[in-house]
Amino acid sequence: MADNVLSPAPVARWGGLSSAEFALAVGGFGIGTGEFAIMGLLPQVAEDMAVSVPYAGHVISAYAIGVVVGAPLLAVLAAKSSRHNVLLMLMSLFAIGNLASAVASSFGLLVAARFLAGLPHGAFFGVAALVAAGMAAPHQKARAIGRVMMGLTVATLLGTPLAAWFGQALGWRAAFGIVGAISVLTVVLTWFYVPRDRANPTASPLTELGALGKAQVWLTLGICAIGCGGMFAVFSYITPALTDVAGVSLGTVPIMLSVFGAGMILGNIVGSRLADWSLMSAIGIALVFNLVAYVLFYFTMHTPWMAVVNVLLIGGGFAVVPGVQMRLINVSGEAQTLAAALSHSAFNLANALGAWLGGLSIAAGYGWTSTGLVGAMMAVAGIGIFLSSVFLDRSRAARAA
């Protein structure tokens, strides 16, 4: 990107981030807050819209479908635009979706608004990662991506609880209004601080679709979709595991969720630094770490103090994400935008797949901690895909030699 910059943005430091990284991290904070805050407000939505709580859960599904559909679609459609303009468009669309959610007059309109808000999610993080990596020194690209992703991880620690609190105090519509305001702020910050760049004259939708013909792109997406699924298999059912198995009081659960957020922040920091040291080693280490964390969860989730350790470690599994994002950029050739955006489709697929498999285990009567074994099996599968990717790299290198 540096070669295509038309006008440099003002460079300032915001707590260790450049001004551009800060602008993008604020966007990530807004997206993370908007995605997760609704989970704590479903009963209010159900009551206000006169539907059951399970039926109200369709608003979560609509957002997730929007992410999966929007990431590749918008990445391909925006192929011939500058990344600066694409970021402005994506965050404006996210703002519209959340503000529409805040004023939706019926449940059907709310579902439609949540789908609209989900569309720019993956594409924004993908393009933001490309912009951050493009501005960074060669051996600091993963850390730059990690600093942008910090907005998402901080949202799990602070943004989501605060939005849920405002939503409970002022009504669920207020939570979406706050996220909409954060989105508008991101548009302003992006306009002033993210460098303006030229559109790539050789880029096209067909070029972006070329990513789908690369085996390493699919293998890396598989690492994310399968290898990260264990986090959601465990976290989706963490509340009953804490209260019924570890003996944690219900009032303490929000604190434990904050511990999970702290684990994500630590994982993001450590994972991005490891990825700058050795990209493939970082991904492999993170996958093995996840395997150990899930097994530990299954065997030791019986006391409150071990519950704290386990929740922190499960959150730390986010360490695989910066490396996967950097790997996709490296293996996608000229189709970087689509490949980078698809990582977040894969992450949402991991969410759906992990929650589904964990639910099957619980429904079969294996207990709340059985989700740890489900996560461990998904981690093993992710390691298998990772080893296939390494083997393919080495085979190609040997043929080239």
User: Taking Cα atoms as reference points, which of 280, 313, 288, 285 lies closest to residue 298?
Assistant: 313
pLDDT at 6 over 50: no
SS3 at position 363: helix
What's the DSSP call for residue 236?
T
Check: CB of residue 88 under 8 Å from CB of residue 194.
Answer: no
Residues 6 or more apart whose CB falls under 8 angstroms from that of 156 comprise 32, 36, 257, 260, 261, 264, 315
pLDDT at 3 over 70: no
What's the DSSP call for residue 344?
H
Question: Per residue in 146-194, pLDDT tens?
Answer: 888 888 888 878 876 777 677 777 888 988 999 999 999 999 999 999 9
The residue that leads in pLDDT, 262 or 54, is: 262
Task: Read off the pLDDT of each residue in 270-282 and give the average, rounded to a whole number.
Answer: 93
Check: CB of residue 4 under 8 Å from CB of residue 202.
Answer: no
Q: Indicate if 204-401 has the same CATH topology as 14-199.
A: yes
User: Taking Cα atoms as reference points, which of 34, 40, 69 lies closest to residue 56?
Assistant: 40
Q: How do the domains of the chain map onto residue ranges? A: 14-199, 204-401
Rounded distance between C-alpha atoms, residue 393 and residue 401, angstroms: 12
pLDDT band at 285 (very low <50, low <70, confident <90, very high): very high
What percent of the chain is modeled with pLDDT above 70?
91
**Domain at 204-401, CATH homologous superfamily:** MFS general substrate transporter like domains (1.20.1250.20)
Class of domain 14-199: mainly alpha
**pLDDT of the residue at 250:** 77
